[in-house]
Structure 1
């Protein structure tokens, strides 16, 4: 059950939902950045996947920023937490900003995204240019992975970074300043129409972590709607804090399991069973190699 004070939701037609998992260090800067990212009032919800016992730090940070704090009884994954937060939003919310807590939104970032989203009823989701802390661009607007690109990227991305499958999948950096349609947008920060999110019943909760945003973008496309990358809006990804502290090997496994789940879901049926077996074997090998690197 959420705790308040609640920031006049009747005035806010835009909601921001984020998920904390031991995110005390990064949460306050993220929430603070929202005040200059949007000129419209924001209805903010912080879902907590790791309520810290007697510690009230996440709750205190959220409430101090005028956000609603939503502690969850168990960590059932990122998508489940976002869905739980969205389920409690007031009905008048039209747009939902989905964001990681380890992000800082630049000035007017939300306004710029909303301007593009509102320009065409066929646009379901918009995403910004995401910069890493060192200023490099994170490839946040990509093509939907296919069997060919997925297998090629999975097998060769680490040993042959410039391979054609990875380049095609990531849509390389020569397009980072071009507003364009994408197959999917990174769940690190995106805005989606509430009506579309409701129609899709939110994120697919069978993905514990990773690929829930790929799946969402794929399902948006199947509705005949658009995912649009808007590079004039900028956010900075300050660091993947939730995957640190000895959990990197587990996250590597989760990433590869989610990749298999998505590709198996996209390519079902008995005729493609041999391909799925080969793909699973390749992803399992890649996961083991990545786990060894992460444990060094």
Structure 2
């Protein structure tokens, strides 16, 4: 998942063409749509736990009212407090996978998705609280929009404000502008375009936050899930870009509402997370823009990211 620094992409942004409900991007219908049928079939929910506290209990408890479909929950245990995770899993009928290795977010989600034979896969942070019926709303939207490769809900912060979870895939220049200006001038035009609008209808975006994603299982299998070369952050940006490149769209469904009690992992180890975040940003930038003629912009963005990383680390140490 990613939430601080944007990443640039030269890939076409489907949100520029398909912004409103009734999205009709011209992509071929999903061949899995008929198999999923009107009721939507079975769902696998995967989450990645790292020495969780009470948030995992809230996640599992609230999930029961989020959907009427048949749900299998798989938890990737990336931490050391295995007894806590195992006890919560047993209490809620979930399965735990992991061998003591911290694979990061994308790698943990991929591990929990192995052997996927359900019709849908949901990747979600363990610090989510599901609103009743929210997952059913997402699945119903996916059935109505077979052109969608991924769908995400409206994420609300714990105080009720909207978290910008559906964003654009900015150009390299726009990514540089946001990286350099995002903290000192939050309302700058680069950041405003990157974060997108607060639309109240189902609409296409460049990518969706990995804090809560629904994908048809056949799309997940075709794309191979996350690129687990991103230990933390930007695996969702990369996945969203690959979904767009495959001819599908990323749809945000604001009628589905989920509370994101974010910050649990950050509060525990902020410096490590800040550095992982910026390392992933640089990796994505290099992978997306390898052309030699783009080197000056890559250097500028890399410099901006490194400066921002050090500022954020110093602020975390003071805090």
The verdict on a shared fold, with TM-score over 0.5 as the criterion, is: yes
Distance between the aligned counterparts of 2:146 and 2:160, measured in 1? 33
> 4+ runs of 1 displaced by more than 4 Å?
none
Instruction: State which of 183, 186, 203 in structure 2 corresponds to 1:158.
Output: 183
In structure 2, list runs of 5 or more residues that go unmatched: 1-39
Of residues 245, 250, 265, the one that matches 2:272 is 250
Residues 128-207 of structure 1: pairs in structure 2 closer than 5 A: 128-173=153-198, 175=199, 177-207=200-230
Pick from 62, 67, 71 the counterpart of residue 42 of structure 1. Answer: 71
Do the aligned residues in 1 keep the contact of 2:153 with 2:256 (CA within 8 Å)?
Answer: yes
Distance 2:197 2:277 in 1: 21
The equivalent of 2:285 in structure 1 is: 263
CA drift at 1:216: 0.4
- CA deviations on 1:184-241 (whole Å, 9 max, x unpaired) are 0111011011111111111011111011101100000000101100000000012321
Deviations, residues 43-79 of structure 1 (Å, cap 9, x unaligned): 1101100032xx5111110111011111333112110
**TM-score, with structure 2 as normaliser:** 0.85
Q: Which residue of structure 2 lines up, in the alignment, with residue 8 of structure 1? A: none
Higher normalized contact order (CA 8 Å, seq sep 6+, divided by chain length): 2
1:15-34 CA distances to partner (integer Å, 9 max, x unpaired)? 10000001132111100111
Is the Cα–Cα contact under 8 Å of residues 28 and 61 in structure 1 kept in the other structure?
yes
Equivalence for 2:135? 110
| Residue matched to 2:98 | 71
Do 2:127 and 2:260's aligned partners in 1 also have CA atoms closer than 8 Å? yes
Give the Å deviation of 1:12: 6.4
TM-score by length of 1: 0.91
Determine helix, strand or coil for the equivalent of 2:187.
coil
| Unaligned ranges ≥5, structure 1 | 1-10
Distance in 1 between residues matched to 2:162 and 2:99, nearest whole Å: 33
Pairing 1:241–2:264 present: yes
Match of 2:115 in 1: 88
CA distance in 2, matches of 1:226, 1:72: 35
Q: 1:44-59 to 2 correspondence within 5 Å?
A: 44-52=73-81, 56-59=83-86
Question: Aligned pair count?
Answer: 279
